[in-house]
Amino acid sequence: MTQTLTRRRGATSVPLARRTGPRGADVRAGYTFLLPWLLGFIVLTVGPMLSSLYLSFTNYNLFEAPKWIGFDNYVNLFSDDRFLQSVQVTLSYVVFGTPLKLAAALAVALLLNNATRGQGFYRSAFYAPSLIGASVSIAIVWKAMFGDNGPVDQGLSFFGINLGGWVGNPNMTMPMMILLTVWQFGAPMVIFLAGLKQIPTELYEAASMDGAGRVRKFVNITFPMLSPVVFFNLLLETIHAFQIFASAYIISNGEGGPAGSTLFYTLYLYLRGFSDFRMGYASAMAWLLVIVVGIITLLFFRTSKSWVHYSGDSR
Amino acid sequence: MISRRNFLTTVAVGTVSAAALAACGQSPSQQGSAQNPVTLNYTWWGNDDRAERTRKAIDLFQSKNPDIKINGNFTDFAGYWQKRATEAAGGGLPDVMQWDLSYLRDYAQRNQLLDLGTVKINLDGFDKTLLPSGQVRGKTYGIPTSTNAFAVYYDPAKLKEIGVAEPTGKWSYAEYKKWLGDVGAKSGGKYFGGADFTGVWWQFNIWLRQKNIQAFTDEGKLGFSKDNLKEWWSLASDLRGTPAIIPPDRATQLKPKSAFGANAAASESTWDNFMAAYLKDSGAKELKLVPVPSDDQGNLGLFLKPSMLMVASAKTKYKEAAARFIDFMVNDPEVGNIFKTSRGVPASKTQREGTTFEGADKAVVDYEKSIEKYLKDAPQPPIVGFGTLEAAFLRTSEDLNYGKLTIDGAVDQWFKEAEDVIKQNA
Amino acid sequence: MTTTKRETMSSPTAPALAEGQDNPKEYNPKADSRSAKRLRAVVFNVVALALVGVVLYPAVWMVASSLKPNSEIIGNPALWSENFSLDNFVTAMDGIGGVSTAQFFTNSIILAVGAVIGTVLSASVSAYAFARINFPGRNLFFGMMIATLLLPFHVVIIPQYIIFQQLGLVNTYVPLLIGKFLAADAFFVFLMVQFMRNLPRDLDEAARIDGAGHFRIFGSIMLPLMKPALISSSIFAFIWSWNDFLGPLLYLNSPEMYPLPLALRLFVDQTQSSDYGAMIAMSVLALLPVLLFFLIFQRYIVEGVSTQGLKG
pLDDT for the residue C70: 77
Regarding whether C135 and C47 lie in a shared domain, the answer is no
Phi, psi of B302 (to 5 degrees): -80, 160
pLDDT for the residue A246: 87
Q: What would the pLDDT profile of B251-267 be if each residue is shown by its tens digit?
A: 888 877 789 988 999 99
B305-312 β-sheet, strand order: B68-75, B38-45, B96-99, B305-312, B143-148, B345-346
Regarding whether C99 and C71 lie in a shared domain, the answer is no
- Is C229 at the interface with chain A, CB within 8 A? no
Residue B213 belongs to some domain of the structure: yes
Regarding whether C54 and C141 lie in a shared domain, the answer is no
Regarding whether B276 and B158 lie in a shared domain, the answer is yes
Regarding whether C237 and C102 lie in a shared domain, the answer is yes
- Residue C173 maps to which CATH number? 1.10.3720.10
Q: What would the pLDDT profile of A29-48 be if each residue is shown by its tens digit?
A: 889 999 999 999 999 999 99
Say if CB A265 and CB A285 are below 8 A apart: yes
Cα atoms found within 13 Å of the Cα of residue B148, Cβ hemisphere only: 23
CB count in 10 Å sphere of residue B275: 25
The 8-class DSSP code of residue B344 comes to B
How, if at all, do strands A67-68 and A58-59 pair?
antiparallel
Chains touching B by CB (3 or more pairs below 8 Å): A, C
Inter-chain residue contact C309 with A2, CB threshold 8 Å? yes
Regarding whether C173 and C151 lie in a shared domain, the answer is yes
Regarding whether B404 and B361 lie in a shared domain, the answer is no
Say if CB A132 and CB A180 are below 8 A apart: no
Say if CB A170 and CB B404 are below 8 A apart: yes
Regarding whether C124 and C244 lie in a shared domain, the answer is yes
Regarding whether C296 and C211 lie in a shared domain, the answer is yes
Out of A73-77, A178-182, A287-291, C12-16, least confident range: C12-16
Regarding whether C304 and C221 lie in a shared domain, the answer is yes
- Judging contacts by C-beta atoms under 8 Å, the chain A residues touching residue C261 are 135-137, 246
Regarding whether B247 and B386 lie in a shared domain, the answer is yes
pLDDT for the residue B18: 40
Q: What would the pLDDT profile of A110-125 be if each residue is shown by its tens digit?
A: 999 877 677 888 988 9
Q: Closest chain B residue to A167 measured between Cα atoms?
A: B253
Mean pLDDT, to the nearest integer, of B384-411? 91
Out of B164-173, C170-179, C206-215, least confident range: C206-215
Residue B108 belongs to some domain of the structure: yes
- Judging contacts by C-beta atoms under 8 Å, the chain A residues touching residue C22 are none
Regarding whether C146 and C293 lie in a shared domain, the answer is yes
Number of domains in chain C: 2
C67, pLDDT greater than 50? yes
In terms of pLDDT, which residue wins out, A257 or B5? A257
Regarding whether B416 and B288 lie in a shared domain, the answer is yes
Which DSSP string do the residues of B119-132 spell out, in sequence order? S----TTS-TTTGG
Closest Cα partner for B378 from B109, B148, B138, B123? Answer: B148
Q: Which of C158, C205, C222 to mutate to test the interface with A (most CBs of A within 10 A)?
A: C158
A149, pLDDT greater than 90? no
In terms of pLDDT, which residue wins out, C2 or A222? A222
Out of A208-212, B23-27, B209-213, B339-343, least confident range: B23-27
Q: What would the pLDDT profile of B279-321 be if each residue is shown by its tens digit?
A: 888 888 999 999 999 999 999 999 999 999 999 999 999 999 9
0.85 surpassed by complex ipTM = no
Q: Confidence band (pLDDT; 50, 70, 90) for B366?
A: very high
Residue B28 belongs to some domain of the structure: no
Out of A156-160, A248-252, B84-88, C262-266, least confident range: B84-88
pLDDT for the residue C1: 31
Which of A150, A184, A194 comes nearest C14 by C-beta? A194
Q: What would the pLDDT profile of C274-306 be if each residue is shown by its tens digit?
A: 578 888 899 999 999 898 888 888 877 777 777
Regarding whether C75 and C110 lie in a shared domain, the answer is no
Domains and CATH numbers, chain A: 81-307 (1.10.3720.10)
Residue B3 belongs to some domain of the structure: no
- Is C70 at the interface with chain A, CB within 8 A? no
Q: What is the rounded CA–CA span in Å between residue B111 and residue B355?
A: 35
Regarding whether C142 and C40 lie in a shared domain, the answer is no
Please, which residues 64-103 of chain A have a Cβ atom closer than 8 Å to chain C? Answer: none
- pLDDT more than 70, % of chain A: 91
Average pLDDT, chain C: 81
Q: What is the rounded CA–CA span in Å between residue C302 and residue C312?
A: 10
In terms of pLDDT, which residue wins out, A183 or C210? A183
Regarding whether B289 and B413 lie in a shared domain, the answer is yes
Q: Confidence band (pLDDT; 50, 70, 90) for C30?
A: low
In terms of pLDDT, which residue wins out, C301 or A126? A126
Inter-chain residue contact A37 with C276, CB threshold 8 Å? no
Q: What would the pLDDT profile of C151-175 be if each residue is shown by its tens digit?
A: 888 889 889 988 888 788 888 999 9
Query: Whole domain around residue C103: which residue ranges?
Result: 95-308
DSSP three-state, residue B194: strand
Q: What would the pLDDT profile of A43-83 be if each residue is shown by its tens digit?
A: 999 999 999 999 999 998 877 889 999 999 999 999 999 99
- Residue B66 maps to which CATH number? 3.40.190.10
Q: Which of A252, A275, A276, A283 to mutate to test the interface with B (most CBs of B within 10 A)?
A: A276
Average pLDDT, chain B: 87
Residue B19 belongs to some domain of the structure: no
Q: What would the pLDDT profile of A248-277 be if each residue is shown by its tens digit?
A: 988 888 888 788 999 999 999 999 988 888
Regarding whether B175 and B60 lie in a shared domain, the answer is no
Q: Confidence band (pLDDT; 50, 70, 90) for A311?
A: low
Q: Of A9-23, B19-33, C3-17, C72-86, which has the strongest mean pLDDT?
A: C72-86
Which of B253, B256, B424 comes nearest A59 by C-beta? B424
Q: What is the rounded CA–CA span in Å between residue A23 and residue A17?
A: 9
Please write down the HEC assignment for all residues of C131-188. HHCCCCCHHHHHHHHHHHHHCCCHHHHHHHHHHHHHCCCCCCCHHHHHHHHCCCCHHH
Inter-chain residue contact A304 with C214, CB threshold 8 Å? no
Q: What is the rounded CA–CA span in Å between residue A99 and residue A102?
A: 5
Q: What would the pLDDT profile of C222-245 be if each residue is shown by its tens digit?
A: 899 888 889 888 988 999 999 999
Inter-chain residue contact B277 with C272, CB threshold 8 Å? yes
Residue C173 belongs to some domain of the structure: yes
Number of domains in chain B: 2
Residue C13 belongs to some domain of the structure: no
Chains touching C by CB (3 or more pairs below 8 Å): A, B
Mean pLDDT, to the nearest integer, of A101-108? 95
Regarding whether B314 and B203 lie in a shared domain, the answer is no
Residue C24 belongs to some domain of the structure: no
Residue C22 belongs to some domain of the structure: no
Q: Closest chain A residue to B412 measured between Cα atoms?
A: A81
Q: What would the pLDDT profile of C38-55 be if each residue is shown by its tens digit?
A: 888 888 889 889 999 999
Closest Cα partner for A307 from A201, A213, A230? Answer: A230
Closest Cα partner for B249 from C77, A86, A259? Answer: A259
- Judging contacts by C-beta atoms under 8 Å, the chain B residues touching residue C168 are 21-22, 25, 90, 92
Number of A:C CB contacts under 8 A?
380
Residue C2 belongs to some domain of the structure: no
B188, pLDDT greater than 60? yes
B14, pLDDT greater than 80? no
Question: Which residue intervals of chain A are DSSP H helices?
Answer: 2-9, 15-20, 24-40, 47-55, 72-77, 81-92, 98-113, 119-132, 136-145, 151-158, 173-183, 186-197, 201-209, 214-217, 223-242, 246-251, 265-274, 279-307
Q: What is the rounded CA–CA span in Å between residue B99 and residue C289?
A: 38
pLDDT for the residue A33: 93
Element (H, E) at C5: helix C2-9
Please, which residues 231-270 of chain A have a Cβ atom closer than 8 Å to chain C? Answer: 231-232, 236, 239-240, 242-243, 245-246, 249-250, 253, 266, 269-270
How far is CA A57 from its chain centroid? 28
- pLDDT more than 90, % of chain B: 64
Angstroms from C147 CA to nearest CA on chain A: 10
Residue C18 belongs to some domain of the structure: no
Regarding whether C197 and C69 lie in a shared domain, the answer is no
Regarding whether B337 and B404 lie in a shared domain, the answer is no
In terms of pLDDT, which residue wins out, C309 or B289? B289
Residue B405 belongs to some domain of the structure: yes
pLDDT for the residue C294: 87
For the purposes of burial, counting CB atoms within 10 Å of the CB of C140, is it exposed (0-12), middle (13-18) or buried (19 or more)? exposed
Query: Whole domain around residue B289: which residue ranges?
Result: 150-303+379-424
- pLDDT more than 70, % of chain B: 92
Residue B216 belongs to some domain of the structure: yes
Among B319, B340, B365, identify where a domain stops: B365
pLDDT for the residue C310: 54
Mean pLDDT, to the nearest integer, of B6-19? 39
Q: What is the rounded CA–CA span in Å between residue B227 and residue C106?
A: 56
Regarding whether B211 and B114 lie in a shared domain, the answer is no
Angstroms from C129 CA to nearest CA on chain B: 30
B161, pLDDT greater than 60? yes
Q: What is the rounded CA–CA span in Å between residue C100 and residue C256?
A: 9
Among C21, C55, C85, identify where a domain stops: C85
- Is C266 at the interface with chain B, CB within 8 A? yes
C109, pLDDT greater than 90? yes
How, if at all, do strands B96-99 and B38-45 pair?
parallel
